[in-house]
Amino acid sequence: MLTKEKALRLSIAYLWFLAILDLVRGFLHTFNILWANETFAQMVPNPDSLMMLGAFGISNILTGLIYLLILKKAKHLAPYVLGIIPIAYLSGSLGLKLQGIQGESSFYGKYMMLVYLALCILCALYYLISSLKEKSISKIN
């Protein structure tokens, strides 16, 4: 049954997973750039592209640590954070499209990111639907 409490617990668990995943991604994108590029991004390894990959790794470390802070201090925000993540990626993708920028490399990490974002959406929707259901039940009573 859809309950707000179950949805919150699921969101918290998934945010824990994302925190660890983002810290791992951050490590790979900063301290293991050449391997990450060869294995996943497969960009032409020039200094500028590797610098951008490293900058992305820094933001992964930042988000991983922010997720851990949220989990420590404000767990109730987990479903909202999961809802914000795909919005941020969608706005970034839209910005790239509007500028006419399209990647030429394989970027195999995109497949993992599609699952990452889909699960964010599902968790956030589960929480939203269960919250609305709980509100409608409380109005009836």
Average pLDDT in the 29-55 region? 89
- The range of the structural domain enclosing residue 85 comes to 4-140
Higher per-residue confidence, 102 vs 138? 102
Rounded Cα gap, residues 42 and 37, in angstroms: 5
Compute the 3-state secondary structure of the chain and give helix, strand, coil in percent, each to the nearest 5: 85, 0, 15
pLDDT, position 42: 84
Mean pLDDT of the region 30-48: 89
Cα 112 to Cα 107: distance, rounded to the nearest angstrom: 10
CB 40 within 8 A of CB 109: yes
- The number of domains in the chain is 1
Quick one: average pLDDT of 30-38?
91
The pLDDT tens digits of the residues spanning 60-97 come to 999 999 999 999 999 999 999 999 999 999 999 999 99
Q: What is the pLDDT of residue 141?
A: 64
Task: Tell me what the mean pLDDT of segment 34-53 comes to.
Answer: 88
The per-residue pLDDT for range 82-136, each reduced to its tens digit, is: 999 999 999 999 999 999 998 887 788 889 999 999 999 999 999 999 999 888 8
